[in-house]
Amino acid sequence: MSIRYDEGRPWKGWYSTARWRKTRLNQLTIEPLCRMCRLQGRFTAATVCDHIERHSGNPDKFWNGPFQSLCKTHHDATKQAEEHRGFSTAAGTDGWPIDPRHPANRG
């Protein structure tokens, strides 16, 4: 039997823990500006600690990231586009898409 991490989505509650507040604050301290705004040459204060990789309830990914700082606008737009496409276009430090569902990582 495979483990279904997302069953019942218990991780929704992890966002309201002190541990998450600390993790989020730490990320926003390291990277105070929205990463996507910066790519567009704009400087916007980030308010969201975003999981670059979908954690799907995996505690290791949830708590250890990788994370990126985003403004709310970009966070919402990114997640909506990702759900529409079915994969994330976020790239790792080597420039390769991180998401295993990305077409470049299939086959």
Contact set with Zn ion (CB under 5 A): 34, 36-37, 44, 71, 74
85, 91 in Cβ contact below 8 A? no
- Nearest distance, CB of residue 50 and Zn ion, angstroms: 10
Q: Round to whole Å and give the CA distance between 52 and 8.
A: 22
What residue has token string 């995996």?
58
* Residue sitting closest to Zn ion (CB): 34
DSSP symbol at 67: E
Nearer to Zn ion, 55 or 74 (CB): 74
Nearer to Zn ion, 25 or 77 (CB): 77
Nearer to Zn ion, 14 or 24 (CB): 24
Question: What tokens appear for 103 in the block?
Answer: 């077409």
CB atoms within 10 A of CB 65: 16
- Nearest distance, CB of residue 32 and Zn ion, angstroms: 12
Provide the residue count of the chain: 107
- Nearest distance, CB of residue 30 and Zn ion, angstroms: 16
